[in-house]
Structure 1
């Protein structure tokens, strides 16, 4: 099957295709729009065979120091059937090489590790890598289940904390104003400092809220006009994906972080989503909290690279640093470039 790569420049058409393929919210137009304002460029393409669109992918491109040129990355994509995946991946890799000069095409699909897609990815010449951005070990809930069925998979104490917070005077609803958003950001700073993780500058989060619109709901616990806790999501037609969460000290005491998580599940079901992804599990306190909401875990396919340049081995060594933001990694990438044989560098210039 010959698959043509066709650019898409229409937001409405693009998001319709994402939902048609039951795509992930990080493939929505607004997500790419935000990344484009913060160091990446975006290329949205439809994959067409015989007049039929068989897939689509939002490519994020990050320029790298000479001689590596660029990283081309597809978060939670591409979108296509397992049968069409080999041809779609071949065409995307060729496009990434010729259009963007990529040293590699890196993909982190929203596909299960034990699905038919695994063989298709390997057959297309991709290699499994541990240079991961989005964590493949996660927890995904089926929102088609009833409340009782969802609660049955939770611990007894989790159910009790949810019911206690839902009976309180706290109101659970979507954030609707700029002032409420600023309260959310203040709590996120507080949570990050308490838990010891890094965050972006505030404008990044404001851009997500503005660019995704209804595709990025924030469910918050309110005591009057004060925000006590929140769950910030991105959602497509099928999938709700947790981006961020936080709780104030007062909110922790009242256990409203349990209630706001339950309210987020309810809200995403009401919005029509069929699956709810908690966005990664690590061996930390935040993950321990997430795991209270189900007895199972999910494993997605992980991170796969298609080498597009003879410089890929040197690039791959520098990538663990580059994935942390690329600024500090620029020195490491340049050092790796200095160790590349001149002949390989000449090949890249052709």
Structure 2
């Protein structure tokens, strides 16, 4: 099947298409708009067969150092029926090669590892890659289940902490509604990142997500009066809610409101019509241990798959892991370095970012 690749420049039409395919929120217009403000190029593509749209993908393109030119990337996409997967992927790869000279097309679909899509992805010339951005091992809740069914999958202590938080006469759980409250979110996120030892973007990146995505990126907060104690920040499409970020203040930890705000996020996303709630990755760390208290199962998505589009791909595939390791080392040094050595370490960080920067 030969598909026509048609750019989409209409935001309403694009987001309607994402929801028609029950697509992931990282495929929404506002997410691509934000990435385009922070180093990527973006193109929304409709894949048509005799005038009928049988697939779609928001293509992110990042320039790479000479001689690699660029990388094309689809986050939690493309979107299509299983029977159209091979044709959709072959058409996307051809477009990425001819229009952008991409060294590879990298995809991280929102498809289960053992789904009927897997064979079609391999048949289209893609191979599994370790150059992962979005973690495939995750936890996805079925929001069509009742509250009692969701609670039954939690540990006894987690249920108790949720119920205690929700009974509070002081703490209110609601969506963040103002720019001033957004600034509180960022302050709590900085506090959480420092305490847990993970890196974050500059504040403007988060402000851009909030403004570009609008209702597609709700933040559920736990408030004591006007003071934010904890939050869960999501992106959501018609069917899927996806955790982006979360944080809790020291006072919020004492009150264990992080349990209540998570439960409030489930409730809010169900009320918004979502059927799936994706916790966005599980690692072997404390944050993941907290996530795993809310269910007895785990999910495994397909992960990262790449199709070589250039004779330079073997060199690129070797250079990418080394450059990413350098970037990770530089970030750790920046966090731990004293003020006298931070300028030199920051320069090293810049060199590593120049070697490869994906997202």
| Shorter-chain TM-score range | over 0.9
Q: SS state of the match for residue 83, structure 2? A: coil
Deviations 1:181-207 (A, max 9, x none): 000000000000000000000000000
Aligned length: 333
Contact 2:210–2:217 under 8 Å retained in 1: yes
Q: Could you report, residue by residue, the CA deviation over 1:200-227 in whole angstroms, capped at 9, with x for unpaired residues?
A: 0000000000000000000000000000
1:37 and 1:79 map into 2 onto residues whose CA distance is 24
Q: Deviations over 1:39-84 (max 9, x none)?
A: 0010110000111100100000000111100010000000001100
Q: Distance in 2 between matches of 1:114 and 1:33?
A: 32
Q: What are the residue-to-residue correspondences of 1:306-317 with 2, within 5 Å?
A: 306-317=307-318
Partner deviation per Cα, 1:265-300 (whole Å, 9 max, x = no partner): 000000000000000000000000000000000000
State TM-score, norm by structure 1: 0.93
**1:111-141, Cα deviation, whole Å (9 max, x unpaired):** 0000011000000000101110000000000
CA distance in 2, matches of 1:222, 1:66: 50
C-alpha deviation, 1:320, in angstroms: 2.6
Q: Which residue of 2 aligns with 1:156?
A: 156
Correspondence for 1:146: 146
CA gap of 1:330–1:271, structure 2 versus 1, over 3 A, is closer
Q: Does 1:295 align with 2:291?
A: no
Aligned pairs for 1:30-179 within 5 A? 30-168=30-168, 169-179=170-180
Checking the alignment, whether the CA contact within 8 Å between 2:43 and 2:58 is kept in structure 1 is: yes
Determine the C-alpha separation between the residues in 2 that align with 1:33 and 1:143: 28
Query: In the aligned structure 1, how far is the partner of 2:17 from the partner of 2:350?
Result: 34
Moved over 2 A (4+): 320-333
Distance 1:151 1:223 in 2: 25
Query: What is the CA–CA distance in structure 2 between the aligned matches of 1:252 and 1:156, rounded to whole Å?
Result: 19
Flag the 1:313–1:330 CA change in 2: closer, same or farther, 3 A. Answer: farther
**Where in structure 1 are there 5+ consecutive unaligned residues?**
334-350
Residue 205 of structure 2: aligned partner = 204
TM-score by length of 2: 0.91
> Is the Cα–Cα contact under 8 Å of residues 64 and 355 in structure 2 kept in the other structure?
no
Relative to structure 1, the CA distance from residue 11 to residue 81 in structure 2 (aligned partners, 3 Å threshold; closer, same or farther) is same
5+ residue gaps in structure 2? 329-348
Secondary structure in 2 matching 1:98: helix
Q: Secondary structure at the match of 2:245?
A: strand
C-alpha contact (below 8 Å) 1:65/1:330 kept by paired residues: no
CA distance in 1, matches of 2:3, 2:204: 39
SS at match of 1:83: helix
Q: Shift of the alpha carbon at 1:327?
A: 4.8
Output the aligned Cα RMSD: 1.3
* Aligned CA distance change for structure 1 residues 330 and 280 (closer, same or farther; 3 Å): closer
In structure 2, what is the Cα distance between the partners aligned to 1:329 and 1:117? 35
Q: Which residue of 1 aligns with 2:336?
A: none
Give the SS at the match of 1:171: strand
1:64–1:330 CA contact under 8 A, matched in 2: no
CA deviations 1:240-277 (Å, max 9, x no partner) are: 00000000000000000000000000000000000000
1:329 shift after superposition: 3.6
Deviation at 1:2, TM superposition (A): 1.3
CA distance in 2, matches of 1:134, 1:110: 10
1:283 maps to which residue? 284
CA distance in structure 2 between the aligned counterparts of 1:102 and 1:71, rounded to whole angstroms: 5
Q: Distance in 2 between matches of 1:191 and 1:213?
A: 24
C-alpha contact 1:318 1:329 (8 A) present in aligned 2: no
Say whether the 8 Å CA contact 2:23–2:239 is kept in structure 1: yes
Does the 8 A contact of 1:57 with 1:77 survive in 2? yes
